Chains A and B, each alone.
Chain A
Amino acid sequence: MHEWSLLDAARKVRGKDISSRELTRALLDRIERANPKINAYITVLHEKAMKDALACDEASARGQATGPLHGVPVGLKDIFCTRGIRTTCGSRILHDFLPPYDATVAEKIAASGAVLLGKQNMDEFAMGSSTETSHFGPARNPWATDRIPGGSSGGTAAAVAAGLCFAGVGTDTGGSIRQPASVCGVVGIKPTYGRVSRYGMIAFASSLDQGGPVARSVPDAAAVLAVIAGHDRRDSTSVDLPVPDYVAATGKDARGLKIGLPREYFEGEGLDPEVKAAVGKALAALVAQGAEAVEISLPHTSFALSAYYIIAPAEASSNLARYDGVRYGYRAKDAGGLIEMMSKTRAEGFGAEVKRRIMIGTYALSAGYYEAYYGKAQKVRTLIRRDFESAFAKADVILTPTTPTPAFRLGEKTEDPLRMYLSDIFTIPCNLAGIPGISVPCGMSPEGLPIGAQLLGNHFREEILLTAAAAIERAIPLPRVAPVEGT
């Protein structure tokens, strides 16, 4: 039953064809067998999940099953604070942190009736594209366990692809939902900035971070987005707009949609020909259903990565100043004074990638450099936003590859940070512009590695993305559950 869709599982629990306990037990058993191979979960909530499933079944018996995901087991990236449940953010510095409150996303997932199976592996503080920077060891791609599952929400994408949950929620600062979804062959949505509350979501780069769903089909992802979207008074950047019927949008006709093809995304030398061909098939599928292709240009694309690697580390260096060993988390032993304690705590508590980004960010914000780096990057951000504004005057959605290549091997890029950063080249501009994006599977490489297509839309136009992505999904049937060896 692990291969059922989220919406089917929800229907079956609602119709009492199966109990939440049976469903939860089956997934916990599968986690037991498969997690040692792919390390998708940092924390598995064996007892709590079964207790919650029992409560769901009791509510069903009383006729009180009200939430749309009642009794269905799901997972959360370990970046969302969960009250009384260890929340590590993939870091040693938070290895024993027990949040005193729930993130809004965690609260909404609970209110939907879903059962939380556990907290999923991630790059430390969401900084990475491979889940190799996790303090708890790398997660692995369930389609080929010598390959990365992408990052930073790699544990979530791997768990969804391996059938270790029916859906999960990740976060995306520069591609951290879409890139892992793409290389694991599942669907991932980065909503418009402000669509999903960031309250209780551990901050990386506050002007870019956004939570969003990972699931095995477009309608499943839409159902999770409908649960987590909406205004929250506790996040002043969350936007007060009504939440549309996202699931209904996945059933709409793609006829007449104008699909923009940005030449800058297809002409770069790093683009794998197999990826290019698979995205071409996604386009053909849309055109066959009555959509129209239009050529567009996003002329500042090649500057996005540079602007991102100033803005994100600058904001991170400021956000991560709070980890000082005083109020929670790891504290270094045997330090003489307060400053020494803090400097040692941070040296021992943070991994190499997090230190590197704190250093870049602190440098970019330090006296004499602010204008040249952060100020300049914010102006370039305006140019990138304007590129998209002009593009959306001609096109309803933009179609691109999600990643330049399928999943690379573990260890392949860990020694060269800049090469690792370049693997996010197609996903970063979307975050800088604050627009929504989705990655949907569109093919398999000859080696059996998933390939994803990315669709980008204008602010708060998630529905059009869902319509177009569902049209691709219907036309290109692909396996969605990875057969993890030996399970």
Chain B
Amino acid sequence: MAITREEVLHVARLARLSLSEAEVGRLRDQLDDILDYIRQLEALDTRDVIPTSHAVEMGTPFRDDAVRPFGDKEAILSNAPDRIGDFFRVPRIIED
């Protein structure tokens, strides 16, 4: 079950990665290798096994739904690559 060029491009679109021609080819080969190795899991019968999402069993922790002000707004905004006042500026979203 080899992965196709189209699948690589589809996954790259989902992941918002614009890949070069060379990267598409290389990733196709490498993903093939890695997925091929990973498929050894098919040999295991896991029909009656409950999946583990959290290795250390504990209940759902609760806390009060209370607002805690952060304070230093400028320390956050000053990291923005582009801003206008207190807003993050991005390229046009809707084309004319």
List residues of chain A with CB under 8 Å of any chain B CB: 83-84, 96-98, 100-101, 192-194, 207, 233, 236-237, 239, 300, 302-303, 305-307, 309-310, 317, 321, 324-331, 335-344, 346-347, 350, 352, 355-356, 358-360, 362-363, 366, 373, 375-383, 385, 417-418, 421, 432-435, 459
Contact B50 A344 (CB under 8 A): no
Other A-B pairs beyond A346-B17, A362-B15, A378-B52, 5, CB < 8 Å: A84-B75, A96-B79, A330-B81, A347-B19, A359-B15
Known: A236-B61, A363-B11. A358 touches B55 (CB 8 A): no
In the assembled complex, the CB of A385 is this many whole angstroms from the nearest CB of chain B, namely 6
Chain B residues with Cβ under 8 A from A383's Cβ?
44, 46, 49
**Which interface residue of A194, A343, A373 has the most chain B CB atoms within 10 A?**
A343
Chain B residues with Cβ under 8 A from A305's Cβ?
37
The listed residue (B17, B37, B80) touching A306 by CB distance below 8 A is: B37
Chain A residues with Cβ under 8 A from B91's Cβ?
335-338, 340-341
The listed residue (B44, B79, B92) touching A98 by CB distance below 8 A is: B79
In the assembled complex, the CB of A311 is this many whole angstroms from the nearest CB of chain B, namely 9
Chain B residues with Cβ under 8 A from A352's Cβ?
23
List residues of chain B with CB under 8 Å of any chain A CB: 3, 7-8, 10-12, 14-19, 23, 27, 30-31, 33-35, 37-42, 44, 46, 49-56, 58, 61, 63, 70, 72, 75-76, 78-82, 88, 90-93, 95
Q: What are the 9 tightest A-B residue pairs by CB atom distance, in nearest-first order?
A: A434-B55, A378-B51, A328-B79, A100-B75, A331-B81, A379-B46, A343-B18, A381-B52, A379-B49
The listed residue (A192, A336, A377) touching B56 by CB distance below 8 A is: A192
Chain A residues with Cβ under 8 A from B78's Cβ?
98
The listed residue (A343, A355, A373, A435) touching B38 by CB distance below 8 A is: A373
- CB-nearest residue of chain B relative to A421? B34
- CB-nearest residue of chain B relative to A333? B81
Contact A382 B27 (CB under 8 A): no
Contact A337 B93 (CB under 8 A): yes
Known: A325-B81, A328-B80. A194 touches B15 (CB 8 A): no
Q: Complex formed: what's the CA distance from A435 to B37 in Å?
A: 25
Known: A376-B46, A382-B51. A100 touches B18 (CB 8 A): no
In the assembled complex, the CB of B72 is this many whole angstroms from the nearest CB of chain A, namely 6
Chain A residues with Cβ under 8 A from B92's Cβ?
336-338
Q: Name 19 interchain pairs, CB-CB below 8 A, sorted by A.
A: A96-B79, A207-B55, A236-B61, A302-B40, A327-B76, A340-B91, A346-B17, A346-B18, A350-B17, A355-B19, A358-B17, A359-B15, A363-B3, A378-B53, A380-B44, A385-B55, A421-B34, A432-B55, A434-B54
Chain A residues with Cβ under 8 A from B15's Cβ?
317, 346, 358-359, 362
Chain A residues with Cβ under 8 A from B8's Cβ?
359
Q: Complex formed: what's the CA distance from A378 to B79 in Å?
A: 37
- CB-nearest residue of chain B relative to A94? B79
Contact B34 A309 (CB under 8 A): yes
Chain A residues with Cβ under 8 A from B42's Cβ?
376
Q: Complex formed: what's the CA distance from A306 to B34 in Å?
A: 9
In the assembled complex, the CB of A218 is this many whole angstroms from the nearest CB of chain B, namely 24
Known: A237-B54, A377-B41, A381-B52. A347 touches B30 (CB 8 A): no
Contact B27 A194 (CB under 8 A): no
Known: A329-B81, A340-B91. A303 touches B54 (CB 8 A): no
Contact B34 A347 (CB under 8 A): no
In the assembled complex, the CB of B3 is this many whole angstroms from the nearest CB of chain A, namely 8
- CB-nearest residue of chain B relative to A310? B38
Q: Complex formed: what's the CA distance from A366 to B12 in Å?
A: 11
Known: A346-B16, A355-B17, A360-B31. A97 touches B54 (CB 8 A): no
Chain A residues with Cβ under 8 A from B75's Cβ?
83-84, 98, 100
Chain A residues with Cβ under 8 A from B38's Cβ?
306, 309-310, 373
Known: A341-B90, A366-B14. A329 touches B61 (CB 8 A): no
